[in-house]
Amino acid sequence: MSDSNRKPGQALDRLFASERETEDFRFDASVARVFPDMIRRSVPGYTTIIPMIEVITEQYARPGSHCYDLGCSLGASTLAMRHGIGDRDCILTGVDNSAAMIERCEHYIALDDHPLPVSLRCEDILDTFIEQTSVTTLNFTLQFVAPERRGELMKRIAEATLPGGALILSEKIRFESEAEQAIQTQLHHEFKRANGYSDLEISQKRSALEQVLIPETLAEHRQRLIIAGFDRVLVWYQCFNFVSMLAIKSP
């Protein structure tokens, strides 16, 4: 695999390339600047998941409902949802608590030519009012929310989800078996190496994320989603320790 997929003008992620003091990872301006390159080279399957969010949204978006992208970063999943909604009169909202992300996201939304308005909010998703939703996306966001707050958020989303509506939940996961955890983690690191990250970059980023990105097992996610009020939970995508789930409310 070569790293020749970077689009012209897309800034290269070198944030962890030289030796630095370990500090908790933050979604600040320096991260927002290189984010498209960072996420594509760090998250296996990201470039497949984004277009599939459009396909899934197309299937579940209901006219007159709300659709939310929680933790929207630069709006890649928001734009996929916008195109999936097509000409239905949905109210699409993107939320992120990083001002640097929201500022750049506005620019990407403006560059896209789809006519559906997108309302962007810079706030903590734990404070976001969620109502009458047919499609909600958390594409690699819940993993950054404190584990003890995840249940209440899933409950609020499930309660606000209309019959027949869906939640797209993508997460880095951990495995119950230590042996599997080791193999999948190794494969993820190989993926990053194949994408041009050095061992130093991989290990420094890993340390910076240690207290910030808390992965859970698939069983923990499933159980929380069912307790929250979803009727069915399925995995529609997995690559190594990265999965995307679909939680559905029965019609």
User: Which residue ranges make up the site for ligand GEK (CB under 6 A)?
Assistant: 27, 39, 71-73, 76-77, 95-98, 101, 124-126, 139-141, 144-145
Q: Which two tokens stand for residue 185?
A: 């983690």
Please state the closest distance from residue 28 (CB atom) to ligand GEK, in A. 9
Nearer to ligand GEK, 178 or 206 (CB): 206
- Which DSSP category does 193 fall into? H
Please state the closest distance from residue 76 (CB atom) to ligand GEK, in A. 4
Nearer to ligand GEK, 145 or 160 (CB): 145
Residues 145 and 126: their CA atoms lie apart, in Å, by: 9
Please state the closest distance from residue 166 (CB atom) to ligand GEK, in A. 16
Please state the closest distance from residue 75 (CB atom) to ligand GEK, in A. 7
DSSP string, 13-47: --TTSS----------HHHHHHHHHHHHHHSTTHH
Please state the closest distance from residue 98 (CB atom) to ligand GEK, in A. 4
Q: How far is CA 180 from each of CA 118, 202, 203, 217, 240, rounded to the nearest angstrom?
A: 41, 20, 20, 12, 10
Strand 133-139: give its sheet, edge to edge.
118-122, 91-96, 66-70, 133-139, 161-172, 242-248, 232-239
Nearer to ligand GEK, 178 or 221 (CB): 221
Nearer to ligand GEK, 11 or 179 (CB): 11
Residue closest to ligand GEK (Cβ): 71
Nearer to ligand GEK, 125 or 162 (CB): 125
CA angle 248, 250, 251 (to 5 degrees): 120
Residues 244 and 239: their CA atoms lie apart, in Å, by: 9
Nearer to ligand GEK, 172 or 249 (CB): 172
Q: How far is CA 110 from each of CA 89, 115, 117, rounded to the nearest angstrom?
A: 19, 10, 10
Please state the closest distance from residue 230 (CB atom) to ligand GEK, in A. 20
